[in-house]
């Protein structure tokens, strides 16, 4: 199955639409980003991957409360010119996107 990938250069309020997106990619974040609750109609167990890279300057990241951390820590800033992945699974029982993985480029 090919993932549905949506790519944006930058956004101050990144908000993936999970009805059309499996991987949300930010290629050159140029502002602080406050991730909003994903839009669309998620399915129980649906996966969402967020990939973030800044534009050569570290950027602050904040997360809507719907992103619930499970065994990891959400990033609060980017690392200059490094990619970070945030892996989430939708939990319809609790109406949360459980963040189960965060990986930073070395």
pLDDT tens profile 1-51: 899 999 999 999 999 999 999 999 999 999 999 999 999 999 999 999 999
pLDDT tens profile 40-56: 999 999 999 999 999 99
Structure token digits, residue 40: 């669309």
Q: CA nearest 69: which of 102, 42, 44?
A: 102
DSSP secondary structure code for residue 17 in this structure: B
Rounded to an integer, the average pLDDT of 64-88 is 98
Residue 53 is predicted with a pLDDT of 98
Span between the terminal Cα atoms of the chain, in Å: 28
Residue 1 is predicted with a pLDDT of 80
| Whole-number Å distance between alpha carbons of 106 and 94 | 34
Residue 101 is predicted with a pLDDT of 98
Residue 64 is predicted with a pLDDT of 98
């Amino acid at each position: 199955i090919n993932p549905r990938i949506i790519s944006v250069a930058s956004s101050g309020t990144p908000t993936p639409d999970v009805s059309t997106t499996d991987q949300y990619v930010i290629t050159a974040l140029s502002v602080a980003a406050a991730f909003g609750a994903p839009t669309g109609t998620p399915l129980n167990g649906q996966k969402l991957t967020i990939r973030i890279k800044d534009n050569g300057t570290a950027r602050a990241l904040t997360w809507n409360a719907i992103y619930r951390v499970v065994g990891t820590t959400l990033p609060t800033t980017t690392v200059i010119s490094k990619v970070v992945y945030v892996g989430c699974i939708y939990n319809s029982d609790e109406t949360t996107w459980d963040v189960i993985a965060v990986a930073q480029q070395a």
